[in-house]
Structure 1
């Protein structure tokens, strides 16, 4: 769910709001009121994995994250956010908890907000964070299929909402699969696409695919949709594809 502020020509900052569905209306109303003085666009999601996908896809200027978020643990979301970005991160909670406040701030959050935080403070606080932390605009080159996202410009990849810690070679290999979903890629084709050495030892492909599968499996906790085609090569089939 997205709210666009249309006043003026310049694009307002985009704030990603990740909160439980039962508090989304209240949170949206709060930021609509804040937007009267501090114009912002809003992208609202209700699940931790969707929050990471939105972060990767939309490149927001700030993020508001509830510690009561469903799906992926909000603590893991904070870790992933800080793996990927230094954007301003405001954590919200239903009640003040000193232990959670300390944990959130030590994990990388910039602020810890609760219902006790005066509404008139939220707008200036958000604006101050945006002034300090708004990243310079840059072009993105994305390959997306709903399960996997590869950002060619940032040299980053996310699978099912999980950031993948890949080497340069592993990212190039994953990119080759992402560019050719459903197609069988021979070992020779992969040697050409990834190593630029079509006549090199095909054995290096086997070991590289093995390492790539292992990293994706550990990050997602799922079976990896890169299958072997006996005596030929490998095929990537995005989950849910026919």
Structure 2
């Protein structure tokens, strides 16, 4: 089975993209059902490859096998949830294991699938999750603030003509700041909109995410990032001039 090449439309793709991370020595039998005109997919055979493809392709759904290694599934899942609370994650095992299923759901997975499920059910769950992946409407695809340009379809960032590589979380954080340029936003507001966190989330994580965002912009452009800290209040994207 060969992974299909990602198309363009939803987040810059024509079809929702499914990323499947499974160890090559422990394939999942139902993966043979993945050839489907309603979505595209990619295969990753290590945790490192999965994390790289998450950053590169911005998939709409991740299927994470519990036998994946380098790093293992629990570290991959933790790093995914550190980046985004939005991505749907299905954990897949060759055999049902109650403690592993509970651990996966507690760590942030949305579903658990295994071969003993009734025939056709794993794929039906995939399609149900992928239906939530909706295209960005053309009028809202671009946001330009001064020298900053955000393409919401491809989720790419440029500043002063320089490409700025960002993680999904950093992109969402910059998008919310730039969309409200000139306005001071509290850590709680950023936590709610960029992380989609429930009330009561840890606002301290915002400080470090803003720091990483600034460094990413400055490394790419060689200029000071236009994000200002307003002591005791929050953060502001500084308007040109």
**Other-structure match for 2:171:** 153
Residue 19 of structure 1 corresponds to which residue in structure 2?
22
In structure 2, runs of 5+ residues without a counterpart are: 8-12, 137-151, 159-163, 175-205, 228-241
SS in 2 for 1:11: coil
Q: Which residue of the partner structure matches residue 173 of structure 1?
A: 215
Instruction: Report what 1:115 is aligned to.
Output: 115
Superposed counterparts of 1:49-88, under 5 Å: 49-85=48-84, 86-88=86-88
Higher share of residues assigned helix: 1
Kindly report the root-mean-square deviation, in angstroms, between the aligned alpha carbons of the 2 structures. 3.3
Q: Which residue of 1 aligns with 2:156?
A: 141
Assess if the C-alpha contact under 8 Å between 2:17 and 2:41 holds in 1.
yes
Distance apart, 1:123 and its partner CA:
2.1
Q: How many residues align?
A: 167
| Cα offset, 1:27, TM superposition | 5.5
Aligned twin of 2:4: 3
Aligned to 2:224: 193
The 1-side partners of 2:104 and 2:209 are apart by 29
Q: Which residue of 1 aligns with 2:103?
A: 103
1:23, CA displacement in angstroms? 4.0
Which deviates more from structure 2 when the two are superposed, residues 92-101 or residues 48-57? Answer: 48-57
Once the two structures are TM-superposed, the CA of residue 134 in structure 1 deviates from its matched residue by 2.1
Question: With structure 2 as the length reference, what TM-score do the two structures score?
Answer: 0.58
Q: 1:195 to 1:14 in 2, by over 3 A?
A: closer
Unmatched tracts of structure 1, length 5 or more: 157-163, 181-191, 197-242
- CA shift, 1:109, in A, is 1.1
